[in-house]
Amino acid sequence: MEWKKKSCQIFAVLIITCVMTALAATYDEHNEVISETETFDPWSVQTECVRIQAEGHYGSGSILKISDQEAVIVTNRHVLLYWSEDSYVTFFHGASCGGEILWMSEKEDVGFLKADLRTLTEEEKLELQAVELVDEEPQKGDYFFMIDMASDVWKKEIYEGQILEPLMYLEEFGTEMLYGESCFEPGMSGCGVYDMQGRYIGMLTGGTQQNEIAAVPAESIKKYFITE
């Protein structure tokens, strides 16, 4: 099995042209899961999502903490490798701003970015929100979804998948990851993985041509965020 990190545009080896209808259910049991959560609108979490442009490369991220002047964004370390003073973050409504790297892990593919919100209008800032981190571990067989905002901010797509193992040691990453099955697109590295109630359970980090995905668990992100 060959895993490849997927984030920036140059990582073309991870290009997967998988077409999915947003939140389309394939099996009867899947339809039951959707019906149980039909009161939840998955698009409501797009306010937590960002697109990261670093020189000629792009990736994704999620807002962990927000104030009137700045937002702390979590993404993959490999998304931030090309970050410069000309790089910028784009939010779900199209507003953009610059920022600076706060910290990057040397052990896991995790990094934090501070976005400067002072250039946004009050209305634009009020529409943004931080993710809701889960306190409990997701379970094997649970369904999840991800929002692709990196491909096109104005034509976002939702991709749905299923957890195969909530924690599985993957040698390619050198640590335990959330292991699942889902389609994805180039540039989605760093995007949030959400349970069917819209809670943040992990961060997409890599995938295979067999539609296997690996995500940094939310618990690991909380550990780094609190520490740093």
Cα 20 to its chain centre, rounded Å, is: 18
- Tell me the sheet residues that pair with 80: none
4-33+132-227 is classed CATH 1.20.1250.20: no
Q: Which CATH architecture fits 45-126? A: Beta Barrel (2.40)
What pLDDT, on a 0 to 100 scale, did the predictor assign at position 135?
82
| pLDDT tens by residue, 70-128 | 999 999 999 999 999 999 999 999 999 999 999 999 989 999 999 999 999 999 999 99
CB hemisphere CA count around 66 (13 angstroms): 19
What pLDDT, on a 0 to 100 scale, did the predictor assign at position 15?
34
CB hemisphere CA count around 175 (13 angstroms): 16
What pLDDT, on a 0 to 100 scale, did the predictor assign at position 214?
98
> Rounded distance, CA 201 to CA 187, Å?
19
> Rounded distance, CA 149 to CA 154, Å?
8
**11 versus 87: which is more confidently predicted?**
87
What pLDDT, on a 0 to 100 scale, did the predictor assign at position 136?
86
Same fold, 4-33+132-227 and 45-126: yes
Instruction: Please report which helix (H) or strand (E) contains residue 89, including its range.
Output: strand 88-91
Residue with structure tokens 């529409």?
127
3-state secondary structure (DSSP) of residue 125: helix
Q: Are 52 and 100 in contact (CB under 8 A)?
A: no
- In this structure, how many other beta carbons lie within 10 angstroms of the beta carbon of residue 47? 15
Structural domain spans, the chain: 4-33+132-227, 45-126
Q: Are 72 and 114 in contact (CB under 8 A)?
A: yes
Whether pLDDT at 206 is above 70: yes
**197 versus 3: which is more confidently predicted?**
197
